[in-house]
């Protein structure tokens, strides 16, 4: 009897060999891998590394992964890019509190990147796609900087460009224009490579080639042209400023358990400077800047703390800006105090952008039900100030943006529009130990210096403290977890950059561009569906 082979005994005729199946599945994973690695590449472009240019291939890879994808696939690819970028960037948020809050923050923040990925995929078939895509990224950053709980702008592309050729764009239109230029250049780079590869198979439309080239050329040329806006020349004379870093007894969340020690450390370092001044080894400063939380003892309620500050001001012979925690009218305030050696406290500035889950706890009852330990970390919520901080040290006006506020465009800009001739960013990074956080924040201050053409000082309890010139250059800086001081002459400036004058307008313009791209993509999709139905 003859037996005929069937599909039952020869299954290999109905499905590909196992090796090919595995290869196909691996190939399908390539876009996901590229998205995640592109996100990691964007992280590596951020400080403390000076590899700013890696942002360009990061966005080129992201563009390749998203081109022509469905919205569901784009959502997943965008989320992977966000995780690759934000997981390592924000690891410092879990230094002392464990991985829970860090992971929760990243999981939420990556959603914004995922939604942007959907938009970028939608416009990826349109003419001029690099422009629409870069505008959508900027729109995503704008939303992330505002919601929820007042927003979290950390990780803006602009903050990774303090050492890059694109930095002068900050003076032209602030962080939105700087970030847009970098992302546009990255997407344009992908388009150039894509068109070069496509040229092997046939003609390339001239308009597409022009758009790709302009997407790379315009940000570079714009940055070169904007260098004329960057200057460190004095316009209102100079001032000799002293930045004090007193250090803390120990790092971590319990650094302020010895609050009197922190105050004494800063007093001791200031007296050391006073001795150098008396010996003629250092110039007498016009004013002295202490960090945030340099006196967690309220000097208005504790006479011994007030006596220490008064004694230091008299010893140095100059007014101090002291960071303190003050309770007034039942409100807890993160406050800077201008303390004159003759008249005592003259002005105060209350931090306006307080940090959620650090200085106040949103949804306290819900979070307490999940984990009571988290509520004990923030026992009492800080209240927000409601006025810009500009201290008058004699003829010199110094704008104040306390620590976390440096990440917010409006919180720095309105000090300049209220007359600040230089800016100070008093900070306390002791909670985050030796993580990259302090370098990321220092880079923000460098971008702000160029954005508003102002000297920026960064007094930090534990470092890195620095003096930054209006051109973004770090003139002097300290180490970490060492007592130190910086005493130097800095330029005062009064002119306003286009970024200062325009304020939010460049960001609004880019939001309109993003909306226009999405509208066009939506119209094309609707016409496509109608054509298919017909």
Q: Which residues are catalytic?
A: 292, 351, 403
Place of tokens 């923050």: 105
Reference 69, options 517, 527, 532, 521; nearest CA is 521
CB 382 within 8 A of CB 422: no
Which long-range contacts (C-beta less than 8 Å, at least 24 apart) are formed by 250-253?
251/430, 251/431, 251/433, 251/434, 251/462, 251/481, 252/95, 252/96, 252/430, 252/431, 252/433, 253/96, 253/97, 253/377, 253/431
Distance between CA 149 and CA 449 in Å, rounded? 27
Distances (CA, A) of 460 to 71, 212, 292, 428: 45, 44, 7, 5
The count of other CB atoms within 10 Å of the CB of residue 322 is 28
CB 156 within 8 A of CB 175: yes
Tokens of 3: 């037996």
Rg (CA), the chain: 27
CB 44 within 8 A of CB 37: no
Looking at residue 42, the DSSP 8-state letter turns out to be H
Phi, psi values for residue 510, rounded to 5°: -70, -30
Distance between CA 396 and CA 403 in Å, rounded? 21
**H or E element at residue 486:** strand 484-491
**H or E element at residue 327:** strand 320-328
Phi, psi values for residue 489, rounded to 5°: -85, 135
CB 247 within 8 A of CB 462: yes
Distance between CA 72 and CA 70 in Å, rounded? 5
Distances (CA, A) of 202 to 129, 195, 199, 359: 21, 10, 5, 60
Looking at residue 177, the DSSP 8-state letter turns out to be H
Give every CB contact of residue 351 below 8 A, 6+ residues apart in sequence.
333, 334, 335, 336, 359, 382, 384, 385, 402, 403, 404, 405
Q: What is the 3-state secondary structure (H, E, C) of 332-355?
A: EEEEEEEEECCCEEEEEEECCCCC
């Amino acid at each position: 009897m003859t037996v005929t082979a069937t599909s039952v005994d020869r299954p290999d005729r109905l499905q590909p060999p196992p090796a090919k199946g595995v290869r196909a599945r691996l190939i399908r994973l390539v876009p996901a891998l590229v998205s995640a690695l592109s996100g990691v590449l964007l992280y590596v472009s951020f400080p403390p590394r000076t590899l700013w240019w890696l942002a360009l291939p990061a966005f080129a890879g992201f563009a390749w992964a998203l081109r022509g994808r469905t919205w569901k696939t784009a959502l997943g690819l965008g989320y992977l890019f966000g995780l690759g970028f934000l997981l390592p960037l924000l690891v410092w948020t879990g230094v002392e509190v464990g991985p829970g809050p860090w992971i929760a923050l990243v999981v939420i923040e990556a959603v914004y990147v995922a939604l942007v990925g959907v938009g970028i995929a939608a416009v990826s078939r349109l003419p001029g796609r690099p422009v629409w895509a870069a505008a959508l990224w900027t729109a995503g950053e704008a939303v992330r900087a505002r919601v929820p709980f007042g927003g979290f702008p950390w990780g803006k592309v602009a903050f990774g460009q303090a050492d890059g050729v694109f930095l002068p764009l900050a003076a032209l239109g602030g962080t939105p224009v700087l970030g847009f230029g970098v992302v546009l250049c990255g997407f344009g780079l992908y388009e150039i490579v894509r068109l070069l590869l496509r040229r092997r198979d046939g003609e390339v439309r001239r308009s597409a080639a022009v758009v790709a080239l302009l997407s790379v050329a315009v940000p570079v040329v714009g940055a070169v042209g904007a260098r004329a806006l960057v200057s460190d020349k004095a316009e209102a004379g100079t001032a000799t400023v002293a930045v004090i870093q007193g250090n803390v007894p120990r790092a971590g969340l319990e650094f302020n358990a010895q609050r009197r020690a922190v105050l004494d450390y800063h007093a001791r370092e200031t007296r050391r400077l006073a001795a150098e001044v008396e010996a003629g080894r250092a110039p007498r400063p016009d004013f002295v800047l202490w960090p945030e939380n340099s006196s967690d003892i309220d000097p208005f309620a504790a006479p011994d703390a007030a006596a220490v500050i008064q004694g230091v001001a008299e010893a140095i012979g100059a007014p101090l800006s002291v960071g303190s925690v003050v309770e007034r009218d039942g409100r807890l305030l993160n406050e800077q105090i201008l303390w004159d050696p003759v008249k005592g406290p003259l002005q105060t500035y209350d931090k306006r952008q307080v940090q959620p889950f650090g200085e106040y706890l949103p949804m306290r009852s819900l979070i307490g039900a999940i984990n009571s330990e988290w509520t004990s970390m923030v026992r009492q919520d800080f209240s927000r100030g409601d006025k810009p901080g500009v201290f008058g040290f004699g003829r010199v006006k110094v704008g104040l943006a306390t620590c976390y506020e440096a990440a917010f465009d409006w919180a720095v800009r309105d000090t300049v529009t209220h007359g600040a001739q230089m800016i100070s960013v008093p900070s306390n990074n002791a909670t985050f130990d030796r993580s990259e956080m302090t370098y990321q924040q220092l880079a923000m201050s460098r971008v702000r210096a160029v954005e508003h053409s102002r000297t920026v000082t960064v007094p930090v309890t534990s470092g890195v403290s620095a003096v930054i010139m209006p051109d973004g250059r770090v003139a002097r800086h300290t180490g970490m977890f060492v007592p130190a001081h910086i005493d130097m002459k800095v330029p005062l400036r009064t002119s306003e950059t286009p970024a200062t004058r325009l304020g939010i307008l460049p960001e609004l313009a880019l939001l309109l561009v993003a909306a226009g791209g999405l509208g066009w993509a939506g119209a094309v999709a609707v016409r496509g569906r109608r054509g298919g139905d017909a």
